[in-house]
A and B are shown apart, each in its own frame.
Chain A
Amino acid sequence: MMITRTVRWFDNRLGASGFARKALNKIFPDHWSFMLGEIAMYSFLLLVLTGIYLSLFYVPSEASVTYDGSYGPLKGVQVSEAFNSVMRLSFDVRAGLVMRQTHHWAALVMMAAVIAHLCRIFFTGAFRRPREINWIIGVSLLLLTLGNGFTGYSLGDDQLSGTGLRIAYSVVISIPVIGEWIAFLLFGGDFPGENVLDRFFVIHIMIIPAAIFALLGAHLAILIRHKHTQWALPGRTNDNVVGAKLWPTFAAKSLGLMFLTWGLLAGLGGLAQINPIWIWGPFEPAAVSSGSQPDWYVGWMEGALRLMPNWEIRAFGWTVPNPFWGGVLIPGLTFGLLFAWPFLEARFTHEDRMEHHVLDRPRDRPLRTALGVATLTFYLVLFIAGGNDVLAAQFDVSVNAITYTLRVLVFVLPVVTAYIAYKLCKELARRSPLPEPASTIVRRTPEGGYVDVEPPAVPVPGGR
Chain B
Amino acid sequence: MSQERPDATGGERPEGDEREVRSVTNRVAIAFLLTTAAGIGLFVVYLQGGQVQLEGALLAVALGGLGYGFVLVGRRLLPQGPYTEERDRLVATPEEITAFEDDMERGSPWLARRGFLLKTLALAGGALGLAAILPIRSLGPNPGNTLKTTQWRKGSRVTDEQGNPVPVDTLDVGGVITVFPEGALEDEESQTLLIRYDEEKFQVLDGREDWVTNGYVAYSKVCTHAGCPVGLYQQDTGDLLCPCHQSTFDVNHGARPIFGPAATPLPQLPIEVDDDGYLVAQSDYTEPVGPGFWNRNR
Contact = CB atoms under 8 A, between A and B. Distances in A.
A is bound by B: yes
Interface of A: 25, 27, 30, 94-95, 97-98, 101-102, 130, 163, 166-167, 169-171, 173-181, 183-192, 225-227, 235, 238-245, 248-264, 266-271, 284-292, 302, 305-306, 308-312, 314, 317-323, 326-327, 355, 357, 388-389, 399-400, 403, 454, 457-460, 464
A389 B180 CA distance: 29
B55 interface: yes
Given A259-B66, A263-B67, A243 B188 contact: no
B147 A173 contact: yes
B52 A253 contact: no
A454 B226 CA distance: 63
B82 to A, nearest CB: 5
B75 A253 contact: yes
Contact of A190 (B10, B74, B147): B147
A163 B86 contact: no
Given A271-B56, A284-B186, A289-B243, A243 B293 contact: no
Nearest to A99: B55
Given A173-B291, A271-B53, A191 B59 contact: no
Contacts of A254: 74
A243 B87 CA distance: 13
Contacts of A312: 263-264, 292
Contacts of A250: 74
Contacts of A189: 140-141, 146
Contacts of B143: 180-181, 183-184
A268 B71 contact: no
Contact of B73 (A30, A102, A252, A302): A252
B58 to A, nearest CB: 8
A392 B114 CA distance: 69
B178 A286 contact: yes
B168 to A, nearest CB: 22
Contact of A163 (B46, B178, B228): B228
Nearest to A21: B8
Contacts of B259: 400, 403
A306 B223 CA distance: 13
Contact of B82 (A226, A243, A258, A288): A243
B82 A321 contact: no
Given A311-B263, A319-B297, A27 B67 contact: no
A328 to B, nearest CB: 12
B140 A188 contact: yes
Given A235-B84, A252-B71, A292-B244, A270 B293 contact: no
A116 B53 CA distance: 29
A189 B227 CA distance: 15
6 contacts: A163-B244, A252-B73, A254-B74, A258-B67, A271-B56, A458-B82
Q: Which of B78, B140, B221 has the largest count of A CB atoms less than 10 A from its CB? A: B140
Contact of B295 (A30, A286, A317): A317
A288 B186 CA distance: 13
Contacts of A290: 232, 243
Interface string B53-79: 111111111111111111111110011
Contact of A97 (B52, B81, B243, B247): B52
Given A181-B143, A322-B225, 15 more contacts: A95-B46, A98-B55, A173-B147, A184-B143, A240-B84, A259-B70, A286-B178, A292-B243, A308-B261, A310-B261, A312-B263, A322-B262, A326-B261, A459-B80, A459-B82
Contacts of A171: 226
A25 B91 CA distance: 22
A270 B243 contact: no
A27 B83 contact: yes
A180 B147 contact: yes
B285 to A, nearest CB: 14
B112 interface: no
A442 B146 CA distance: 81
Q: Which 3 A-B pairs have the closest CB atoms?
A: A270-B56, A321-B292, A267-B60
Contacts of A268: 56
A19 B197 CA distance: 80
Interface string B38-58: 000000001001101111111
Interface in B9-55: 10, 46, 49-50, 52-55
A244 B81 contact: yes
Contacts of A319: 292-297
A174 B81 contact: no
Given A94-B49, A170-B226, A264-B60, A253 B70 contact: yes
A334 to B, nearest CB: 19
A345 B232 CA distance: 48
A288 B229 contact: yes
Contacts of A314: 297
B252 interface: no
A306 B74 contact: no
A179 B294 contact: yes
B295 A174 contact: no
B140 A240 contact: no
Interface in B243-281: 243-247, 257, 259-264
Given A173-B147, A189-B140, A287-B231, A322 B71 contact: no
Given A286-B221, A305-B245, A355-B90, A270 B10 contact: no
A312 B49 CA distance: 56
Given A317-B298, A457-B84, A253 B90 contact: no
Nearest to B185: A286
A167 B263 contact: no
B172 interface: no
Contacts of A292: 228, 243-244
A310 B257 contact: yes
Contacts of B296: 319, 321
B102 interface: no
Given A95-B55, A190-B146, A180 B244 contact: no
Contacts of A302: 245
Contacts of B141: 184, 188-189
Contacts of B264: 312
Nearest to A192: B188
A108 to B, nearest CB: 15
B226 A305 contact: yes
Q: Which of B10, B55, B186 has the most A CB atoms < 10 Å from its CB?
A: B55
A360 B54 CA distance: 46
Nearest to B243: A290
Contact of B74 (A175, A256, A287, A458): A256
Contacts of A181: 140, 143
Contact of B191 (A101, A271, A286): A286
B95 interface: no
B139 interface: yes
Nearest to A262: B63
